[in-house]
Structure 1
Amino acid sequence: MFRKQVILSCVIASVLLLGGLLQLSRSLQWNPFPADSSYAETEFPLGSSDPAPGGEGSPLRLMIYSDPSDAEGLRVKGNLAEALELAKLAWDEIAAEDIAALPPDPWQVLVLTGQKNEAIDPVLLKRYVENGGRLAVMTRFYAPALNELFGMAQNRGFLQGAVQGMTMVKPLFPGYPDLPSTNNMFSNSMLDVTLLPASRVYLTAGGVPLLWTHGYGSGRVVYWNSTTGVQKTGRGLLVHSLGLAAESMVTAQAGIRTLEIDDFPSPAPQATNPLVRQEYGLSTLEFYERIWWADMARFAGKYGWKYTGLMIGNYQNRTTPPLPPLTGEGPSQTIRFFGPRLLKLGGELGLHGYNHQSLVTPDEPLPPSLNYVPWPDRGAMAEGLTRLAELAHSYFPDHDLRTYVPPSNVMGREGKEAIEAAVPSVNIIASLYFAGSEEAGPLEQEFGPDPDNARFYDYPRISSGYWLDEEEQFFQTDAIANFGLVNHFVHPDDVLDAKRSQGRGWSFLSSKFEEWMAHLTGSYPYLQPLTVRDSVKKLILYQNSRIETRYTADRITIRAQEAPLPSVYTLRLPVGKQPELPAEQGTVISWEPASGLWRIEAVQPALEITLKDGEDAP
């Protein structure tokens, strides 16, 4: 009897000990890896070259004319200027009275951005192109006297109503999907035209020619039958259409891809999600740990991603101090579990917020549709940010926080000041590249120093979601075409939201997500997977680099100063020409034979590209 009691006591003690160990194991899952949470920044070697011997060849000159009274034309000019700067292409303004002295040149393009061009003599314009000049019309305008110059056989005036959608007849850059007529991403005001047989159509909308080229005399015209040149969503198309006007054109690529996971780590919903329960029979937290994260870790290994996770403390709407500390099983449990795993994959942790209330005061714009509670003042915001930063540093003391994503992409000047005061290590704000809304509040950004506070660099997201529709694919491809960058964005709870997931489970969404990753790495293998902080570091180096390109009929020379190596360039040549490059300088890859587009992956800052005759493209 005594022996049985001893055995029973041992069994009970063992069970209790095992339970305690399991509980301890659970509580220590935040630290399954070495305690060092320091971040090893990626280094990017720079290269500089001497000037080309004798300065052979001509630089590409883009001469932009906009009537000072043409508001729409000035907007197109501003949008085009941003796109050209990102592509490392220089441009100059030209006045109407100076166009008469513009010498025709195959590597000089006169660019008209607006509809008010009455100050330009049409006879002079025709003579300029006829003698070998190159002309790009970026906004359609009605000028019957110039129909033949523009490649129009008939011009019946303006079509009634807007024309939506876009069809790629001839490729400008690899990867653009067609947009159906039901898609309103581009809403074009167009001329009703019939083109001359020699005109070469690249894009159509609703069956109407949208972008075409036309040879006139010894010169060439590129014509946009559209008023959408003001849109960020088409910057890549604008840049590459200029390459159709010039005899040849080189643009640069930053070569970056990032993937942000917003609201991560964050407290997991306590309620069971119907989609997750039906598909996996698990609680939400179990699904995140066992299924979702296992797939995300696999994707990181297979496709090289280095995720940036943006932490959030809670989902309460309290904004008035004193704010409760972020303790207990909610925020700390998920941060302890996922944080080390993300860092182990080479990722970084950044901030999303103490809670999901945007950093705005009552005097700043806040879309009413969000039903958010503004913060009373900058000090209250700073208190919340400090509490989240303290929680992060308690687990990852050697990991500096650099990146901040505003909840719902809304924040004001006061919020930026609060970040600077509370978490001075943060120097990157990542919001939206294109807001696509007239509602006041969403923070739309360019890539570069923040206009309100120069200590921050803006690194906006371009696309989002596990399942990209044709609009997301289009915009993402356009940014790659413009300057070679992907910044994609997902939430863990996109899977849980029936609207965001379109009612599909994770098995379907993860397969679509992986299809997108495979397409991206297969089509653009030169895009380097980086965290946000390393992407910003590389992008600043790219933006500060200086690239001089000179052109002749049979040679292109590139000289780069302080440029990250390896470097990537796109090269558009006349159809039938092929570039050759010494092997020690880099590699030449054909991208779009039908449009003469090539990619150069350079390992040296000085390139000597020889142009050879090849087979005509189909």
Structure 2
Amino acid sequence: MSRKLIIFSFVTASMLMLGIALQTVRIVDVFPLSRSRYLFKEAAFSTKSSANAEASGAELALFIYTNPNDSEGIKVKENLEHALELAKLHSETIAADDILTIKPGPWTALLLTGEDISELNQETIRSYVRQGGRLLAYTRFYAPEWNDLLGIASNKGYFTGANQGITVNKTVFPGYPDLPETNVLFSNNMLDVELRPQAQIYLSAQKSPLLWTFTYGQGKVVYWNSTSNVQKEGRGLMVQSIGLALDSLVTSQVASRSLNIDDFPSPVPQVDNPLIHKEFGLSTPAFYERIWWEDMVRFSKLYGWKYTGLMIGTYQNQTRPPLPSLLENTPKLIPYFGSKLLSLGGEIGLHGYNHQSLVTADEPIKSELGYIPWPNKAAMVESLQRLTELSSSLFPGHELKTYVPPSNVMNRTGKHALAEAVTSVDIISSLYTVGGEKGFLEQEFGVDKELPQFTNFPRISSGYVIDEGQKFFINDAIANFGMVNHFVHPDDALDINRSGGKGWKYLSQHFESWMSWLHKTYTYLEPLTVRDAVKKFSLYEAGTVNVHYGSEAITITTKDQLIPMHYTVRVPNHQTPEIPKEAGHLTSLDAAEGLWHLEALQPTVNIQLKESKP
């Protein structure tokens, strides 16, 4: 070999080695620690009131009856009331003796929530429906003498055991998937019935009718052969099934979607992960930078997401002061990914000084989590202050607003510690439903009842692979009030249990498939950071919506409500709603069921109902 060739080979090999070395250190050095200032630009929302508009027509009248001794019926009633409130529908509680005073009509409905109907006069109910009243039963009850009113041809009493799963026979609201019998999201103790031919079955469980409608005289009955309407997972169906009884119905939608990245930014494991090494041949930090984050950037650009990242300072388990400062030896991936997140228009919130839930030893938490309790509130305050110092140092000018409790576990002590330590934080995002598990913080959307300086904004769904049960729940929240709040964790791709050993390519493909479906199906859902989604929800919640119904027109008037405002509109399927172009946009959701989406650009919108062309 010639001397020149040897020198050239040496130089080439040296350059390759240098390139590899630079790639290795690039991830930790690409973000200069100059603490460049970042100012978050909040989304702007406008509200308007109608100019004393007068509308003719009937107002919706919903009367809820529950036997005061029926404990399960009371739970269904409370669940229904939450659902109606989120959809901006007003209801009234009525006693059995006062049902006689209800005037039957196409926009008046009596809602029964329990199975104890002993106080009800059957003939009073029958006469009310026969004369044009609308009746909904949210819990099945065994009363053979009611069979003809309910559209039941044969009633054999209760099934032995529970019926699981749901089959969608007709559209209550678009987008719901079928749930197989193996899915336990809905488990009902049902009546074994056969229905009259005129009954319309909308949902069934294991081939038995679960939700149906039946016309009786001039009125209509909607019957839930169900015991699951105590669950939040079915609130959207509870609301939208009211429209099956009425001639028409308008429900309100927040129209937002949020995507949270939990444990991000955070210290990244420096060791090789077997799953990542096998799939990509990369270290964990390199995978996060070159594969996972690049995909998240692509998803943001394709589907409009404005991510909210929840920062962790350290994964050490220390909970007793003095707690080490996080300013020294800060893993450089935290400022690197934090700046990338903010450059996409995202938000950084807090997850914790470490991943130890803010509870003391005498507060409930699952022992399986293996967490170390905090000795007192003061220690929690110190930990939150340490994390806030880190955030202020790395991202000056970015105000912290959102807090997500580690493992969604938080109690009274932790809430008070958060209020004291980080006064700018006014949003707590935990879980919408916990299934009764120990210690987890379950929330309703809206102002926290214990500490009203906080707004609760719970997680509805999570994960990269969204199974049929989660798809159902996501769709149900959209049907209820038009909102998505989804969480993912970067390290799901590293965990063989959470990923099922499938790897990131599998996870990302399934995740993108769901995002694409959501984006195409519900184009009106505005992608927002959590702080902006809460701002929009708070404005939505504070405004009022009044609807007047008629056979030829529906008029919506608002006060201090968002513009544009979004609604789900159900009209008779032989009619087509029309509005002036300047008033907004109408989009068909399901023509056969008369379901439409309305984006209203004015505080008052008059919808004309025209006979559909054959």
TM-score range, shorter chain: over 0.9
Structure 2: how far apart are the matches of 1:31 and 1:37? 14
Of 162-171 and 315-324, the range deviating more from structure 2: 315-324
Equivalence for 1:428 = 427
Matches within 5 A, 1:156-167: 156-167=156-167
C-alpha deviations, 1:263-317, integer Å up to 9, x for none? 0011111221111001110010110011100110111111111100000011122
Structure 2: how far apart are the matches of 1:567 and 1:511? 33
Q: 1:26 to 1:494 in 2, by over 3 A?
A: closer
Matched, 1:210 2:227: no
Structure 2: how far apart are the matches of 1:33 and 1:44? 34
Equivalence for 2:147 = 147
Q: Which amino acid aligns with 1:253?
A: Q
Q: Does the aligned pair in 2 maintain the 1:165–1:183 contact within 8 Å?
A: yes
Q: Give, in angstroms, the shift of residue 439 of structure 1.
A: 2.7
Listed as ranges, the gaps of 5+ residues in structure 2 are 1-10
Q: Give, in angstroms, the shift of residue 567 of structure 1.
A: 1.1
Structure 1: how far apart are the matches of 2:284 and 2:485? 27
C-alpha deviations, 1:352-384, integer Å up to 9, x for none? 001111000111111111111110000001111
Structure 1: how far apart are the matches of 2:102 and 2:354? 59
Structure 2 residue corresponding to 1:609, chosen from 604, 607, 610:
607
Structure 1: how far apart are the matches of 2:147 and 2:196? 10
Q: Does the aligned pair in 2 maintain the 1:572–1:598 contact within 8 Å?
A: yes
RMSD: 2.1
Q: Does the aligned pair in 2 maintain the 1:142–1:157 contact within 8 Å?
A: yes
Equivalence for 1:337 = 336
Equivalence for 1:6 = none
Q: Which amino acid aligns with 1:74?
A: I
Q: 1:232 to 1:207 in 2, by over 3 A?
A: same
Matched, 1:45 2:46: yes
Structure 2: how far apart are the matches of 1:21 and 1:180? 52
Q: 1:26 to 1:521 in 2, by over 3 A?
A: closer
Structure 1: how far apart are the matches of 2:366 and 2:35? 44
Q: Give, in angstroms, the shift of residue 458 of structure 1.
A: 0.4
Q: 1:467 to 1:167 in 2, by over 3 A?
A: same
Structure 2: how far apart are the matches of 1:575 and 1:454? 44
C-alpha deviations, 1:467-508, integer Å up to 9, x for none? 100011000000000000000000000111111111111111
Matches within 5 A, 1:108-507: 108-327=108-327, 329=329, 331-436=330-435, 438-507=436-505
Equivalence for 2:3 = none
C-alpha deviations, 1:597-617, integer Å up to 9, x for none? 11111111110100011157x
Secondary structure at the counterpart of residue 321 of structure 2: coil
Secondary structure at the counterpart of residue 148 of structure 2: coil
Q: Which amino acid aligns with 1:69?
A: N
Equivalence for 1:3 = none
Q: Does the aligned pair in 1 maintain the 2:299–2:512 contact within 8 Å?
A: yes
Q: 1:393 to 1:100 in 2, by over 3 A?
A: same
Structure 2: how far apart are the matches of 1:138 and 1:530? 34
Q: Does the aligned pair in 2 maintain the 1:133–1:218 contact within 8 Å?
A: yes
Structure 2: how far apart are the matches of 1:249 and 1:336? 50
Q: Does the aligned pair in 1 maintain the 2:33–2:335 contact within 8 Å?
A: no
Q: Give, in angstroms, the shift of residue 27 of structure 1.
A: 5.5
Q: 1:394 to 1:64 in 2, by over 3 A?
A: same
Q: Give, in angstroms, the shift of residue 100 of structure 1.
A: 1.1
Structure 2: how far apart are the matches of 1:296 and 1:372? 30
Q: 1:313 to 1:513 in 2, by over 3 A?
A: same
Q: Does the aligned pair in 2 maintain the 1:170–1:202 contact within 8 Å?
A: yes
Q: 1:33 to 1:526 in 2, by over 3 A?
A: farther
Q: Does the aligned pair in 2 maintain the 1:68–1:74 contact within 8 Å?
A: yes
Q: Give, in angstroms, the shift of residue 120 of structure 1.
A: 1.1
Q: Does the aligned pair in 2 maintain the 1:32–1:340 contact within 8 Å?
A: no
Q: Which amino acid aligns with 1:176?
A: Y
Q: Give, in angstroms, the shift of residue 328 of structure 1.
A: 5.1
Listed as ranges, the gaps of 5+ residues in structure 1 are 1-10
Structure 2: how far apart are the matches of 1:236 and 1:27? 46
Q: Give, in angstroms, the shift of residue 52 of structure 1.
A: 3.7
Structure 1: how far apart are the matches of 2:68 and 2:320? 49
Q: Give, in angstroms, the shift of residue 34 of structure 1.
A: 9.2
C-alpha deviations, 1:163-213, integer Å up to 9, x for none? 100000001111110000000001101000000000000000000000000
Q: Does the aligned pair in 2 maintain the 1:52–1:557 contact within 8 Å?
A: no
Q: Does the aligned pair in 1 maintain the 2:461–2:486 contact within 8 Å?
A: yes
Q: Does the aligned pair in 1 maintain the 2:212–2:224 contact within 8 Å?
A: yes
Q: 1:23 to 1:151 in 2, by over 3 A?
A: closer
Q: Which amino acid aligns with 2:222?
A: V
Matches within 5 A, 1:88-107: 88-107=88-107
Quote the sequence identity (%).
Answer: 54
C-alpha deviations, 1:65-107, integer Å up to 9, x for none? 0111111111000000000000010111111111112111110
C-alpha deviations, 1:92-126, integer Å up to 9, x for none? 11111111121111100000100111111101111
Structure 1: how far apart are the matches of 2:151 and 2:590? 24
Structure 1: how far apart are the matches of 2:295 and 2:20? 29
Q: 1:166 to 1:50 in 2, by over 3 A?
A: same
Q: 1:32 to 1:485 in 2, by over 3 A?
A: farther
Q: Give, in angstroms, the shift of residue 21 of structure 1.
A: 9.6
The number of equivalent residue pairs is 602
Secondary structure at the counterpart of residue 148 of structure 1: helix
Equivalence for 1:35 = 36
Matches within 5 A, 1:516-555: 516-555=514-553
C-alpha deviations, 1:527-567, integer Å up to 9, x for none? 00000000000000000110000001110000011111111
Structure 1: how far apart are the matches of 2:34 and 2:319? 35
> TM-score, normalised on structure 2?
0.95
Q: 1:318 to 1:560 in 2, by over 3 A?
A: same
Structure 1: how far apart are the matches of 2:68 and 2:151? 27
Structure 2: how far apart are the matches of 1:18 and 1:589? 54
Q: Does the aligned pair in 2 maintain the 1:170–1:594 contact within 8 Å?
A: no
Equivalence for 1:77 = 77
Secondary structure at the counterpart of residue 582 of structure 2: coil
Structure 1: how far apart are the matches of 2:301 and 2:101? 58
Structure 2: how far apart are the matches of 1:356 and 1:172? 42
Q: Does the aligned pair in 2 maintain the 1:591–1:599 contact within 8 Å?
A: yes
Matches within 5 A, 1:572-587: 572-587=570-585
Q: 1:606 to 1:21 in 2, by over 3 A?
A: same
Q: Give, in angstroms, the shift of residue 30 of structure 1.
A: 2.9
Q: Does the aligned pair in 1 maintain the 2:253–2:565 contact within 8 Å?
A: yes
C-alpha deviations, 1:581-611, integer Å up to 9, x for none? 1111011111112221111111111101000
Q: Give, in angstroms, the shift of residue 395 of structure 1.
A: 1.0
Q: Does the aligned pair in 2 maintain the 1:33–1:340 contact within 8 Å?
A: no
Equivalence for 2:6 = none
Structure 2: how far apart are the matches of 1:375 and 1:384? 10
Structure 2: how far apart are the matches of 1:401 and 1:75? 37
Q: Does the aligned pair in 2 maintain the 1:30–1:339 contact within 8 Å?
A: no
Structure 1: how far apart are the matches of 2:143 and 2:24? 78
Q: 1:233 to 1:33 in 2, by over 3 A?
A: farther
Structure 1: how far apart are the matches of 2:317 and 2:170? 51
Secondary structure at the counterpart of residue 172 of structure 2: coil
Equivalence for 1:508 = 506
Q: Give, in angstroms, the shift of residue 22 of structure 1.
A: 9.0
